[in-house]
Structure 1
Amino acid sequence: MTQSTGEWPSTVLAAETERFQERDVREMNVTAGTALADAIRTTLGPRGMDKMLVGDDGKVVVTNDGASILDRMDIEHPAAREIVQVAQSQHDRIGDGTTTAVIVAGELLTEAARLTEQGLHPTTIDAGYTRAVDLALSALDECTVPVDPADTELLEAIARTAITGKWSDREATAIVELVVEAAQAVERNGTVERRRITRTTIPGGSPTDSELVAGLAIDVDASSTTLASLDVDLPRRIEDAGVALIDDQLTVEKADAITRVSVENPTQLGQFADYEADVYEGQASGIADVGADIVFCQKSIDDDVRARLARHGVIAVERTRQDEMHKLARATGAGLVKRVDELTSDHVGRAGVVERRTLADTELVVVGECPDTEQRSLILRGGTAHVIDETKRLIENCLDDVTLAIERGAVVPGGGATEVAVAARLREAADGIAGREQLAVTAFADALESIPRTLAESAGLDPIDALVALRNRHADDEWRTGLDVDGGELADVVERGVVEPATIKRHAITSAAEATTVLVGIDDMLVATGEGDGEHDHGHDHDHGRGGVEATGGYPWAVGH
């Protein structure tokens, strides 16, 4: 096909232009996604090093957790936001493994870009990645180690793996022991009833001062005025205690339309005082007469009522949180009533012991040995608000991993061992796949090995040498061999206690592959004006061709209306 002017025909030129525009959009999406993954890998840096994040409002956050970093990054590109969604999904549904999911997604995008340059169509890459996911999940099932909920050593290894590099060894050991003890205490028939674990933070001390309390610990200083302000000497410990729950304030009720009371003579003033005293005494005696030793009120309690309750030997706690009220009701069997005059002996719950404790000038009431549901409370300590927040976050991560391991009953070797084992099985399966999908399956295997490469770099090892050594060991059927980051060597990571819940790997692989295929399949980018939902009141022509929206040729800043 020739032209006397040496120019291409308009149809060929249009087709070539569209092809390059599609490639530009795909390259922009891939570049944005891989850049975000590389940024997370670089930002995390050496193992155990914290990063300081400064927000627009000036708030400073110090963390080395990938989920926390992504949550606070200002990301504008829609493709990069898709990768952030991978991390958010991993965090919301699993609780751990966000960094793994992002790194794998970035590597899958890089491999997809390379395959595209070699001539593979996005649909072929999609089909190959989909087959690779199925093969990877099957290979994961072959790499699992069974979990016994009574195996404290294995559960502590799982929790320690989740916290490795995020805290010093001394603090990590204390947190790991607390988490495993709490999880085993509320485990029933392979299910960890997390709602029976309460987290209470108390400033002062260090994370090693944190403790697990048998019972429901309620911060009295946060929920009520201090009990020490009363002149009555209340008991520090009450056995077989009656517990009352009231969802109302204990005070003198006033009509809504009355804002003040006019007193014309001393007699009326005395009558008004007598009326208030009768109301207060009626509320206090009403609670004491039904057999309550402690009353929790969701709203405020007047000082006169609290003093009268104290003289009756009843501990009063005001402004108790709603979630604590529900936990108290479940644990003690108490019925939550709206008003004091509705309270009867049938509404009073029982607790084996109610104890008042003082920690770092903070007064607690611990309700324990409950007949219906036994509660556990993790009391978290720290010298600063940042330390307490980080301790609480690490506790949640460890609990997530231990819960997954117990309820799913399986863990896999950490230290990159699982990724190398799965990659080897993918390459073996790829040899039997006809067509170009074989290349996509092999690329998927290469992407999975980004995890051991990243671990080797973080441990100060040569990533190529470490990966080659891992492949050789796995070729000898040593599928539990991984990187022992602490020792900087290859080892049987299961024996070293480096294990992770299999569910973390399964979800990370699945979500990373789904996000990659979505981004690779995009061939154009459109910008919606946000004006198409309602009717327009302006009078210009709306002929934008098919679909009512004009394509921007891959450039989101070129908007046509």
Structure 2
Amino acid sequence: MEQLEYVTPAKDDRTRSSALPSNAEAVRAIASAVEGTLGPKGLDTMLVGDDGEVIVTNDGVTILDRMEISHPAARMVASIARAQQEEVGDGTTTATLLAASLVEEGMKQVERGVPVAKVITGIRRGIRFAVERMQGMANPIWDLEDEWLQRIAYTAGREQEDVTELVMEAALMVGREKLLDKHFRLSDAVTAHPRAESSIFSGLLIRGSRLNLQSPSLKAEARVLVVGSDLAPEPVAAHSEAGFRKQEENREKFHRMIEKLVEMKVDLVLIGGDVDPDADDLLSDADILVVAGVSERDLNRAAEHTGARVVKRTGLAKAPEELEGMIGMAEEVEDEERLGCIRIAGGAGRPFATILVSAATEEVVEERERITKDAAAAVQAAIRGGFLPGGGAAELALAREVEKYRDTVQGMEAFGVAAVAEVLHRPMGQVVANAGFNPLEKVEEVKALQWKRQSASLGIDCDRGAVCDMVDMGVVDPLPVKYHALQAAGEVSTAILRIHTVVRMRGTDDESLR
């Protein structure tokens, strides 16, 4: 076990109270890297690698994943972007901005003399109150043809009409029940390639290619077998005569299994591992498509779509009538050589949709793929939780509610609640700033009109700088995106505020800890 070395005043004269400003500064630097991308007028960030690799994007999680981060507190904030992406697929920049702002506001309260424990408790109470109120503000979506879904896709898709159309068609193809499945992610249906035409089809793209290029590349009404292991004889240690005999017996049994598959007229065999060369020859001679090294995820998706069951090597020894129930069906399977994928369309199992996105260059394709994934994730999130006014309008309305709640909180915890109320002003302020307007002036103007008209949907038109109804403009965001962003920001910010001091592990040479 590594020993720990305490950073004493003799080596570092910073006290515990000075650790918080250091962490807050690092967190603020992380937020500044992504905050300029927020909103319809947000700009792109260019990421440059040591090897000359260049990525131009305004996707928060991509920026945070690829940028060099050395400070441990900053890494904690970057981690919530990944958690946000994994949970709902969008809103990573908002989550990062909220987390950094909560740390900053919490530090201000501590500097005023409020005990950090009270600030943390107050922030937790404020976040809990805000997310409960947020859920009550949401408008549900019941119909996949609801125009709000199209507006959500259009906004999340950076106002690219072709992306919006592809995502909406995919949602309709998959169906509401599938979109509500917590294990299904519509964003996984997105694939990009510079040499493909943008399109959508009912089915899957499985990464891999047929082993024998002499086999037919296209099969109609295909019978699909999914093997979740190596397609090879069971190994035996052949260090004795008995071992050699057993090895030969296993190979004979294996050959009979392969001949059985040929007799059962299987058209496509997807294999999770390697393939015995003799088996490949036998199957290829029968014009059966053989694809090896398929990922477990793709095997499961193919089985679900075709109605097949993933079978292990030992399962292939079953009688033909038993094995028949493990074989799936697809209207068509094709080796898309230019994409390096096998296309499985019209499966007999659960419906899947694939969104194929194209662009002129590899760099643009990657960004188009990210944008399309964001749009798909936003549509699915809206189906699951409904939507709220966008542009920071909902957060600003929540800030007013949290301010009222603060007045009911006794003791010094009220200062932590006040920090939450202040932070909820930040999303609109950043959107307005990115549009080139004075955020303080515009946010106060909207806040006053929201109170006067008792409306939670008023925000700023980023083209004209005028106060407008965000819902009337079609600027809305899925509830789960905002809900999870605020909740995750509260968790990571209080974790950072709880840091008492920093100790260095012996042997560590990290400049960020000095």
Q: What percentage of aligned pairs have identical amino acids?
A: 27
Q: CA deviation at 1:454?
A: 0.5
Shift in Å, 1:305: 6.9
- Match among 59, 68, 72 for residue 74 of structure 1: 68
Would the alpha carbon gap of residues 286 and 198 (structure 1) be closer, same or farther in structure 2, given more than 3 Å must change? farther
- Structure 1 residue 69, shift from structure 2 partner: 1.5
| Superposed counterparts of 1:248-263, under 5 Å | none
User: Is contact 2:192-2:366 (8 Å) kept?
Assistant: no
Equivalent position of 1:174 in the other structure: 162
**Unpaired runs of at least 5, structure 1:** 1-17, 259-277, 532-554
**CA deviations over 1:490-516 (Å, ceiling 9, x no partner):** 322223222222222222223323333
Q: 1:224 aligns with which of 210, 219, 222?
A: 210
Aligned AA (1:73): M
Aligned residue runs from structure 1 range 494-533, under 5 A: 494-529=471-506
Which residue matches 1:490? 467
- The one-letter amino acid paired with 1:338 is R
Residue 442 (structure 1) aligns with? 418
Of the structure 1 ranges 446-455 and 320-329, higher mean CA displacement relative to structure 2 is found in: 320-329
The amino acid of 1:77's aligned partner reads: H
TM score, norm. by length of structure 1? 0.73
Which residue does the alignment assign to 1:333?
308
List aligned pairs for 1:27-106, cutoff 5 A.
27-42=21-36, 47-106=41-100
Counterpart in the other structure of 2:386: 410
Q: Residues of 1 paired with 2:265 and 2:97: CA distance? A: 60
Question: What do residues 59-114 of structure 1 show as CA deviations (whole Å, max 9, x unaligned)?
Answer: 33322212221222322333323322333333333332221122122222332333
**Residue type of the alignment partner of 2:311:** L
Counterpart position of 1:323: 297
Letter in 2 for 1:176: T
Return the offset for 1:434: 4.2
**In the alignment, what sits opposite 1:294?**
268
Larger Rg: 1 or 2?
1
Structure 2 residue 224 is the aligned partner of structure 1 residue 243: yes
Letter in 1 for 2:456: W
> CA deviation digits over 1:347-401, x for unaligned, max 9?
2424251243758x45865433333323333333344333333333333333332
Q: Please state how far the C-alpha of 1:436 moved relative to its aligned partner.
A: 4.1
Evaluate the alpha carbon distance shift between residue 322 and residue 382 of structure 1 in structure 2; reply closer, same or farther with a 3 A threshold: farther
Equivalent position amino acid for 2:392 in 1: G
CA 1:81/1:299 → structure 2, altered by over 3 Å: closer, same or farther?
closer
> Would the aligned equivalents of 2:333 and 2:342 in 1 still touch at CA under 8 Å?
yes
Please name the residue that 1:457 is paired with. 433
8 Å Cα contact 2:191-2:354 kept in structure 1: no
Distance of aligned partners of 1:346 and 1:483 in 2 relative to their CA distance in 1, 3 Å threshold: farther
1:35-58 alpha-carbon deviations (Å, 9 max, x no partner): 332343257799353222123454
2:119 is aligned, of 125, 133, 136, to 125
In the alignment, the residues of structure 2 paired with residue 252 and residue 195 of structure 1 have an alpha-carbon distance, to the nearest angstrom, of: 37
Query: What does the per-residue CA deviation read over 1:435-489, in whole Å, with 9 as the maximum and x for residues that have no partner?
Result: 4444443332122111111000111222123212211221111211123335654
Find the aligned partners of 1:200 and 1:99 in 2 and give their Cα distance. Answer: 21
1:254, 1:526 → 2: CA distance? 52
Instruction: Assess, with a 3 A threshold, how the Cα gap between structure 1 residues 311 and 116 changes in structure 2: closer, same or farther.
Output: closer
- Aligned CA distance change for structure 1 residues 20 and 48 (closer, same or farther; 3 Å): closer
Unaligned runs of 5+ in 2: 1-11, 240-251
Cα distance change on mapping 1:338 and 1:514 into 2, 3 Å: closer
Q: Contact 2:223–2:330 (CA<8 Å) still a contact in 1?
A: no
Which residue identity does 1:329 align to in structure 2?
A: A
Matches of 1:189 and 1:225, distance apart in 2: 33
Is the 8 Å Cα contact of residues 186 and 194 (structure 1) preserved in structure 2?
no
User: Which whole-Å deviations, capped at 9, do the CAs of 1:239-271 have from their partners, x for residues lacking one?
Assistant: 3x333345677799999879xxxxxxxxxxxxx
| Corresponding letter in the other structure for 1:354 | E
Q: 1:448 to 1:292 in 2, by over 3 A?
A: same
Letter of the aligned partner of 2:224 in structure 1? V
Please give the alpha-carbon distance, in whole angstroms, between the structure 1 residues aligned to 2:330 and 2:364: 34
CA distance in 2, matches of 1:358, 1:19: 64
> Cα–Cα, structure 1 residues 345 and 294, in superposed 2: closer, same or farther, change >3 Å?
farther
1:100·1:451 contact (CA, 8 Å) conserved in 2?
yes
Residue aligning to 1:144: 138
- Counterpart check, 1:114 vs 2:108: yes
* Contact 1:200/1:217 (<8 A) preserved: no
**Alignment CA distance shift 1:155-1:424 (3 Å):** same
Q: Secondary structure at the match of 1:369?
A: strand
The aligned residue for residue 353 of structure 1 is 331
- Describe the superposition over 1:288-314 as per-residue Cα deviations: whole angstroms up to 9, x where unpaired: 321323344455668997777566554
Q: Name the CA shift for 1:195/1:334 in 2 (closer, same or farther; >3 Å).
A: farther
Alignment partner, residue 213 of structure 1: 201
DSSP-derived class of the 2:142 partner: coil
Of stretches 46-55 and 242-251 in structure 1, the one that deviates more from structure 2 is 242-251
1:392 equivalent in structure 2: 369
* Structure-2 separation of matches of 1:528 and 1:395: 43
Equivalent pair of 1:163/1:394 in contact (CA under 8 Å): yes
1:470–1:490 CA contact under 8 A, matched in 2: yes
**With CA pairs under 8 Å and 6+ residues apart, which has the higher RCO, 1 or 2?**
2
Deviates more, 1:476-485 or 1:46-55: 46-55
1:187 to 163, 176, 181: 176
Say whether 1:473 aligns with 2:449: yes
In structure 2, relative to structure 1, the CA distance for the partners of 1:324 and 1:35 (3 Å cut) is closer
- Gap change, CA 1:84 and 1:301, over 3 Å in 2: closer
- State the partner residue of 2:407: 431
3-state SS of 1:116 partner: helix
* Aligned residue identity for 1:146: P
Question: What's the secondary structure of 1:140's corresponding residue?
Answer: helix
What does residue 422 of structure 1 align with? Answer: 398
Q: 1:464 to 1:352 in 2, by over 3 A?
A: same
